[in-house]
Amino acid sequence: MKIVTIIGARPQIIKAAALSRAIRNNFKKEIKEIIIHTGQHYDENMSQVFFDELGIPEPNYNLNIGSGLHGKQTAGMISGIEEILLKEKPDYIVLYGDTNSTLAGAVAASKIHIPIVHIEAGLRSFNKSMPEEINRIMADHASTLLFSPTKTGLQNLIKEGFNPDNKAPFTADHPGIFHCGDVMYDNSLYFSEIADNKSTIMEDISLNGNSFFLGTVHRDNNTDKPKRLNALFEAFDEITRSAEIPLVLPLHPRTAKLLQKNLRPELYEKINKNSLIQLIKPVSFLDMIKLEKNCRMIFTDSGGVQKESYFFKKPAIILRPETEWKEIVQQGCGIIADADKENIINAYTYFSKESEKLQFPPIFGNGKAAEFILTTMLENR
Ligand code: UD1
Ligand code: UDP
């Protein structure tokens, strides 16, 4: 079986590690994987670092599309992916998540009838102002095999008309939907001990276990809207000062570029002078896992980081108006605080008192989602 995998943004490169590892370990003879990197993310610490660290084969193709407006960026990817698909003629194209690279892969493959496998299918925020919501709906509805990491994801697909009783042979008009667990959980389990042994981030930035907070901010809705970005950083400033605990923020380049422009000058200065707010460059995956495992609490608008908070049993304060990962909130381990200063501070106060009582039952599978996905693909080729 020949598959073409599309990656482009940081989380997709990380997710792809789980499937590539499962192919290498269990399906070396049966599956040949060709990797196309769209080049959506390109900085060393947003892309190459993950290949170096996670054992992902170097991409067979890099389209080097880079950053740009949605239309131009996605169109460039569609055209590049189409050309390669016509040449490689794979049995499947494999798409991850909800980025513009995902959408481009879906459009290119569906028009030339290459069956699409969508990993992380069925996730919905029910907020179509998010570019990701459009990307994931369109990718799901063009797919032949849809793998959902959560039961909620599967239910969302059923509500949109997907039939869970469909039997093989599957096609884009008669798709198969599966609940399979999360490839990110596969990765977190696999790399957890490796991170303990290899990452030196704690020493590098002088941190001790359980005595710092971790945060990430990168959603366009937060970075590009000054009111929201100011509210987030006001909350970070107030919480770090009152708790006298540092907050480590590995800043996505999008956020790093917009901080000075979109924060009020007094707040920007205050943040720079607050030695408890440690703004650092994006870190490698092993470093990120090490930080997640050792921090006290996580503030994030990232999908992946929300889940990793749960995997590593840390409370998550979700800096968005809603989440696709409803289970985390239902379980009481995440609080949706949006970009609202008071909500963030209240969520922090609550978790400061209650975090010892939180329970994190396994809801993201058994760490073998990648094997399940590959076996299902082989059975339905
Ligand atoms: C993209 C995804 C988002 C995902 C995120 C993961 C879309 C629409 N969005 O958002 O779903 O959560 O990746 O991180 O696909 N930049 C750099 N260097 C890089 C990459 C980006 O400087 O290597 C800067 C550029 O200024 C760029 C901006 O970040 O314009 C945004 O990058 P882009 O890939 O368009 O979107 P993300 O915000 O990264
Ligand atoms: N991540 C990382 N280094 C960082 C920040 C995040 O390796 O500095 C990892 C994180 O552990 C998770 C993934 O990147 O696996 C999440 O990606 P991101 O937040 O960019 O996107 P999202 O998941 O929101 O689409």
One fold for 2-182+365-379 and 189-357? yes
Task: Kindly state the average pLDDT of the residues 305-321.
Answer: 98
Say yes or no: CB of residue 10 within 6 Å of ligand 1.
yes
Ligand that comes closest to the CA of residue 301: 2
Residues with a known catalytic role: 218
Task: Kindly state the average pLDDT of the residues 136-143.
Answer: 98
Ligand that comes closest to the CA of residue 254: 1
Give the per-residue pLDDT at 19. 98
Cβ 281 vs Cβ 187: under 8 Å? no
C-alpha distances in angstroms, 78 versus 41, 42, 212, 331, 350? Answer: 16, 18, 43, 39, 46
Confidence of residue 18 (pLDDT cuts 50, 70, 90): very high
Confidence of residue 322 (pLDDT cuts 50, 70, 90): very high
Angle of helix 183-198 relative to helix 285-294, nearest 10 degrees, comes to 90
Confidence of residue 123 (pLDDT cuts 50, 70, 90): very high
Give the per-residue pLDDT at 4. 98
At the fourth CATH level, which superfamily is domain 2-182+365-379? Glycogen Phosphorylase B; (3.40.50.2000)
Give the per-residue pLDDT at 212. 98
Instruction: Report the nearest-CA residue for atom 34 of ligand 1.
Output: 40
> For a pLDDT cut of 70, what percent of the chain falls above it?
100
Instruction: Report the nearest-CA residue for atom 2 of ligand 1.
Output: 99
Instruction: Using the atom order of ligand 1, give the atom closest to the CA of residue 100.
Output: 15
Say yes or no: CB of residue 132 within 6 Å of ligand 1.
yes
CATH assignment of 189-357, among 3.40.50.2000, 3.40.50.150, 3.30.70.250, 3.20.20.70: 3.40.50.2000
> For a pLDDT cut of 90, what percent of the chain falls above it?
99
Give the per-residue pLDDT at 192. 98
Instruction: Using the atom order of ligand 1, give the atom closest to the CA of residue 43.
Output: 23
Task: Kindly state the average pLDDT of the residues 211-227.
Answer: 98
Q: Does the pTM exceed 0.75?
A: yes
Task: Kindly state the average pLDDT of the residues 165-170.
Answer: 98
Say yes or no: CB of residue 43 within 6 Å of ligand 1.
yes
Say yes or no: CB of residue 72 within 6 Å of ligand 1.
no
Cβ 364 vs Cβ 150: under 8 Å? yes
Cβ 317 vs Cβ 298: under 8 Å? yes
Say yes or no: CB of residue 11 within 6 Å of ligand 2.
yes
Ligand 1: centre distance to CA 236 (Å): 23
Find, among 105, 98, 97, the residue nearest to 80 by Cα. Answer: 105
Give the per-residue pLDDT at 120. 98
Ligand 1: centre distance to CA 186 (Å): 24
Please state, rounded to an integer, the average pLDDT across all residues of the chain.
98
Place of tokens 């501070």: 345
Say yes or no: CB of residue 253 within 6 Å of ligand 1.
yes
Ligand 2: centre distance to CA 305 (Å): 6
Q: Where are the domains of the chain?
A: 2-182+365-379, 189-357
Task: Kindly state the average pLDDT of the residues 304-321.
Answer: 98
Alpha carbon 258 to chain centroid, angstroms: 21
Give the per-residue pLDDT at 217. 98
Alpha carbon 80 to chain centroid, angstroms: 24
Say yes or no: CB of residue 41 within 6 Å of ligand 1.
yes
Give the per-residue pLDDT at 38. 99
Give the per-residue pLDDT at 320. 98
